[in-house]
Structure 1
Amino acid sequence: MSTSSTRRIADDYTAALAAHEPAAAQALGQHAAGRLPDYSPEWAVERRRLAERVAVDLAGAPGATGASGAPAPSGASEDPDLALRAALGERMRSEAELFDTGFSARLLAPLASPVHEIRESFDDVTVTDDEAGDDVIERLVAVPAALADLRRRLDWARAAGEEGRFSGTGVAAARQVRAVAGQVRSWIDPTGTDYFSRIARGGLASSRETRLERAGTDAGLAFAEFASYLDGELLAGAPEEDAVGEQVYAQTARSFLGTPIDLDDIYDFGWAELDRLVAQSRRLAAQVLGVAGEADVETASRALFADERYRVAGRDNIVGWLRDRFEWTLERVQGAFDLPGDVREVDIVVPTAATGVVYYTPGAPDGSTTGKIVWTVPEGEDSISTWHEVTSFHHEGVPGHHLEHTTNRANSGLHPWQRYLCEIHGYAEGWAHYSEQLSAELGLLRDPAEELGAVLGQVWRAVRIVADIGLHTGRPVRPNALGAEGPWTPELARRFLVELALVDPRTAGFEVDRYLGWPGQALAFKVGAKLWLDARADAEARGIPASHFHRSALGLGPMGLGPLRELLSTSAPEPR
């Protein structure tokens, strides 16, 4: 298959997306800052058909991809579009399969579902008295129609599920519907955030101010109606059962990871990692407390939370500490990576939320917004304990998501679809979790306290594996550090997070709801990191230094773990 034909297929696919999705339009250089994505059922169905057509086009050409998405290695060095063909072929098959489970159309969960995408498109924006401000107002005006389309899509999914058109259900579980309805109401509470009527503005002319006020009011009313629809009409048809079962779970996990997996093997791996990491956390706790052998992790944690050396209070001070840590980190990773020229262009945002979570949002493809590291402070608190969360900063920032995204976007050899639109959980979250583990090697953890925080983050991800698989497929709880027995329950999963990973109870509740709403996504972190670790070990065994491995591996661009594994093993880079 020639380079031109591969690119032509990718060009046509991206152009088709651009008519419905602003990010794709921006990736092609089109102005789309005033738009919201198309959440209609018509586009959902057409997108599924589009994925199938693209997969057929790729599979029917010379050099067609195999089951995992990667072409045969012969001629790999002669084909500059090998990675594009592998990534796009795998994604099209995975997207079609994920849609066929019902997940894509019915998606409602307390994180990263369409309703959150709509609200988050207004996070940390300021309406200015110019065309950029008009884009925000135009986007806000579009909220009621977007929510109406989303409601039609959810209704369509429910009917399709009842007709047996999906391998899973067509309605999200009742737990997810209730959670999202509650979140939406918290956004529009007139005694609290009143989110849409309080969007920041700067020196607006009266006409723009009037339009903004009207659009904010209409958006708030539309969200109120949507919340009523969720916990009224939609909830009435939502199943109380959270588990999706073995078949659907295998399908969704395969799509999120971009590779088939053996669930028994991954379950074994999760339990082995949990045992190893719990023991390591106890050894680090002993170092923190200045005793020999092992010590109680919770005791060490209480001492560290009370230690003023690790406490930063006040939003401005938190932002300052995070920015200083970011700059300090960049200085220490320069030898391990090729840092893009714009890697310092990132916003650090510290809002208040119901739970303290840290996440990364890439900038818009057209550069109208920059990437954001968002560090939320739980309601009622005004400080953070750095020892416990610095590993999350590495995950979301450098060497994690921010470095990955800026590296991709600086790589002019990648197709726009690869640079801006190709998102695979196993690749991205796997890299970010690998980065957490790499941080100790690179000297980014300053003392045993921060090392303990990093290991607790790994314990958290190990719990994700065993709890996620167990909750959805019915595999039993194995002998463990808590002495818990019997079947998995949401309450037991929360207990594992609180007592072994020291996750605060509110965040643990949010986490388990997330696992139940995104079956298989929780595997992406540790399973993805395992692939990066194994691939690097294989490269180093052949004399390839880590710095060259990182440069060459990231240079392939994002893709499913299946094609990534094959490309890294069959076309491994040679040291310079």
Structure 2
Amino acid sequence: MSNTAPETRSATATDAVAESYVTQLAALDPILATDLGLAGHDHRLPDLSPSGIAERAELHRATLGELEAIEPEDEVDRITHAAMRERLGLQLELFDAGELHRELNIIYSPVQTLREVFDLMPTATAQDWENIAQRLSAIPEALAGYRESLELARERGHVAARRQVEACRLQALELAEADSSFFTSFTAEAEPGGEEPAEELTAALTEGAAAAREAYRMLALHLEELAADAPEKDGVGKERYALWSRFFLGATVDLEETYEWGLAELDRIIAEQEATAAELYGEGTGVREAMDRLDADPARKLEGTEALREWMQATSDEAIEALAGSRFDIPEPVRRLECLIAPTQSGGIYYTGPSADFSRPGRMWWSVPSSVTEFSTWREKTTVYHEGVPGHHLQVGQTVYRSGLLNSWRRMACWVSGHGEGWALYAERLMADLGFLDDPGDRMGMLDGQRLRAARVVLDIGVHLGKPMPQRWSQWGTGTWDQPKAWKFLQANANMDEDFLAFELNRYLGWPGQAPSYKVGQRLWEEFRDAAEADATRRGENFDLSAFHRRALDVGSVGLDVLREALR
């Protein structure tokens, strides 16, 4: 990962197809365009109706047809062909299965994305705020289309579990209430150029915010009606789960074997935690006791969200400074990462990538529930590495930087959770190996996070496939996994505020296959590294870990089966 100018190559016919696809997809999905920093679409929203979903599916189908008529010219092209066939092909499978019409969950469905896109919009000029006003005014039409898709799904017998419908109804109501709505507070803060907005712009923003609130009120009413047909059962079954697992991993895994591996991995991490607790406070100290003592340590405590933000930024800056030029040669534009408190209070922690020209930097967001006011640094240092460097920010920023080698679809528009989240967990372990978590308290934080990720492999597959409760964890009842057992299991394996934990569990129940992609992705990344090391040994060569990382990240975010083949 060189700090000099990135490698370049001549664009090919394959690149032209990929670039055209991104251009057309940005026009059909303006939220994606804003996410990627592609100008010209910030005033619009996507068509979320069945016809809009079908139009995007037709674009996927047509693009795959164009690729079939082209021969790859080099290795970059060959990977692009494989990656687009895998990604676009899965989009069509999801479309044909009706999955794209029924999307409704508490973290990543139109209920949230139509609101969250405003977090990424520029707000410096009057034109920026005019775009915001127009986009706010477009929310009623977008949500009307979304309701139409949910109705079509209901006609087909495809309704999200009642728990998700009710939670999303409450989210919509919060956005609909004038006093508490994000739309109210956001538009009230408009200061283009640091000045009061013109009267006409103020009126447009006020009208747009009111229209958005009313649209979410209508959505809440629709979800109340939808709940009558929503199933009580949270699990989606093996067929749907396998499809979503492939989507999130970009790989086909044996779900039964993965479930058993998750149980074994959980036991291994618990043993490592127990050893760390003894290192911290002496033999006989339990894991929970050690964590309670770490929480009580004033030297490891932060008060308030501003202190959290400042600590996140300082920790991130220190990591980048320490790694740049020694462990990694980090390009200058990638050395900037903004750490921010999100305007919402859902409990999520997430990363958003830089724009194509890095004018908008990569950002780490922390959405803190209103009831949470204290934070422990021992828990969160590994999170900063996960979201920042060498985690998501290095991975995503490095790919964006490769504009001379990779087309825009490879650089920016292709994101596979198992690849990205798997790398971020791999990066956490890597930072421990490099000595950044030698403090046993910080290492306990990393293990705490790894334990949660292993636990949710077990929980997610267990609930959605209706597997029997493991004997090891049967103290909360026998029979198949369900929400009450999952809640007790999660409480036993995750040491975090219950508001966070409740959100986490609902996320797993409503987004099948996504949560395990972190830990399973880490497993596959480690398998790829170990295979590369074994291959070097067979050739009689010393294994260069830094060279492996550089080669792997230069591929960009692709499905893990595609990455496996690329690394061969």
1:493 alignment partner AA: A
- 1:279 is the counterpart of 2:271: yes
| Contact 1:275/1:481, CA 8 A, preserved across alignment | no
Q: State how 1:484-523 maps to structure 2 within 5 Å.
A: 484-486=476-478, 487-523=480-516
- The structure-2 alpha-carbon separation of the partners of 1:481 and 1:453, relative to structure 1 and needing over 3 Å to count, comes to farther
Match of 2:313 in 1: 323
Q: Secondary structure at the match of 1:80?
A: helix
- 1:114 is the counterpart of 2:110: yes
1:231 alignment partner AA: E
Query: Distance in 2 between the 1:183 and 1:28 partners?
Result: 27
Match of 2:428 in 1: 436
Q: State how 1:111-510 maps to structure 2 within 5 Å.
A: 111-123=107-119, 127-159=123-155, 161-162=156-157, 170-191=158-179, 193-199=180-186, 200-202=189-191, 203-232=196-225, 234-289=226-281, 291-292=282-283, 295-334=285-324, 335-351=326-342, 354-365=345-356, 369-412=360-403, 413-480=405-472, 483-486=475-478, 487-510=480-503
Query: Distance in 1 between the 2:11 and 2:183 partners?
Result: 47
**Structure 1 residue ranges without an equivalent (≥5):** 64-74, 163-169, 571-576
Match of 2:57 in 1: 48
| Contact 1:332/1:443, CA 8 A, preserved across alignment | no
Query: Distance in 2 between the 1:24 and 1:389 partners?
Result: 29
Query: Distance in 1 between the 2:419 and 2:529 partners?
Result: 14
2:164 alignment partner AA: Q
| Contact 1:188/1:223, CA 8 A, preserved across alignment | yes
How big is each residue's C-alpha offset from its partner over 1:183-210, in whole Å with a ceiling of 9 and x where there is no partner?
122233344x321111121121111111
- The structure-2 alpha-carbon separation of the partners of 1:377 and 1:30, relative to structure 1 and needing over 3 Å to count, comes to closer
How big is each residue's C-alpha offset from its partner over 1:346-401, in whole Å with a ceiling of 9 and x where there is no partner?
33212475553321122444656433211233213322111112222211111111
Match of 2:78 in 1: 82
Query: Distance in 2 between the 1:183 and 1:442 partners?
Result: 42
- 1:9 is the counterpart of 2:5: no
- The structure-2 alpha-carbon separation of the partners of 1:216 and 1:190, relative to structure 1 and needing over 3 Å to count, comes to closer
**Structure 2 residue ranges without an equivalent (≥5):** 1-9, 537-541
What TM-score, normalized to structure 1? 0.89
Indicate the larger mover: 508-517 or 422-431.
508-517
| Contact 2:316/2:337, CA 8 A, preserved across alignment | no
1:108 alignment partner AA: L
Match of 2:7 in 1: none
Query: Distance in 1 between the 2:205 and 2:425 partners?
Result: 40
Q: Secondary structure at the match of 1:336?
A: coil
Deviation at 1:106, TM superposition (A): 0.8
Query: Distance in 2 between the 1:265 and 1:368 partners?
Result: 45
Deviation at 1:154, TM superposition (A): 1.5
| Contact 1:256/1:520, CA 8 A, preserved across alignment | yes
How big is each residue's C-alpha offset from its partner over 1:416-471, in whole Å with a ceiling of 9 and x where there is no partner?
11112111111111111111111201222251011001001011011111111110
Identity %: 36
How big is each residue's C-alpha offset from its partner over 1:505-546, in whole Å with a ceiling of 9 and x where there is no partner?
222222221112111112210111111111112223313311
Deviation at 1:322, TM superposition (A): 1.1
| Contact 1:332/1:444, CA 8 A, preserved across alignment | no
Match of 2:5 in 1: none
| Contact 2:102/2:153, CA 8 A, preserved across alignment | yes
1:158 alignment partner AA: R
Match of 1:564 in 2: 563
- The structure-2 alpha-carbon separation of the partners of 1:188 and 1:445, relative to structure 1 and needing over 3 Å to count, comes to farther
Misfit runs of 4+, over 6 Å:
none
Deviation at 1:318, TM superposition (A): 1.9
Query: Distance in 2 between the 1:497 and 1:28 partners?
Result: 37
Q: 1:532 aligns with which of 522, 525, 529?
A: 525
- 1:103 is the counterpart of 2:99: yes
Query: Distance in 1 between the 2:216 and 2:90 partners?
Result: 31
Query: Distance in 2 between the 1:450 and 1:352 partners?
Result: 28
1:544 alignment partner AA: F
Deviation at 1:485, TM superposition (A): 5.0
Query: Distance in 2 between the 1:313 and 1:24 partners?
Result: 35
2:299 alignment partner AA: R
- The structure-2 alpha-carbon separation of the partners of 1:544 and 1:400, relative to structure 1 and needing over 3 Å to count, comes to same
Q: Secondary structure at the match of 1:39?
A: coil
Q: Secondary structure at the match of 1:508?
A: helix
How big is each residue's C-alpha offset from its partner over 1:314-343, in whole Å with a ceiling of 9 and x where there is no partner?
333222111110111112222333312212
Query: Distance in 1 between the 2:115 and 2:21 partners?
Result: 27
How big is each residue's C-alpha offset from its partner over 1:150-204, in whole Å with a ceiling of 9 and x where there is no partner?
1112122223x24xxxxxxx2211111111111122233344x321111121121
| Contact 1:337/1:550, CA 8 A, preserved across alignment | no
| Contact 1:395/1:432, CA 8 A, preserved across alignment | yes
Deviation at 1:548, TM superposition (A): 0.9
Query: Distance in 2 between the 1:551 and 1:184 partners?
Result: 43
Q: 1:18 aligns with which of 26, 31, 48?
A: 26
Q: Secondary structure at the match of 2:501?
A: helix
| Contact 1:29/1:366, CA 8 A, preserved across alignment | no
How big is each residue's C-alpha offset from its partner over 1:70-126, in whole Å with a ceiling of 9 and x where there is no partner?
xxxxx9xx4331221121111012112223333222111110211211111123767
2:328 alignment partner AA: F
What TM-score, normalized to structure 2? 0.90
2:183 alignment partner AA: F
How big is each residue's C-alpha offset from its partner over 1:137-158, in whole Å with a ceiling of 9 and x where there is no partner?
2222211111112111212222
Match of 1:72 in 2: none
How big is each residue's C-alpha offset from its partner over 1:274-326, in whole Å with a ceiling of 9 and x where there is no partner?
0100111111111222x13x531111111111111111113332221111101
- The structure-2 alpha-carbon separation of the partners of 1:501 and 1:482, relative to structure 1 and needing over 3 Å to count, comes to farther
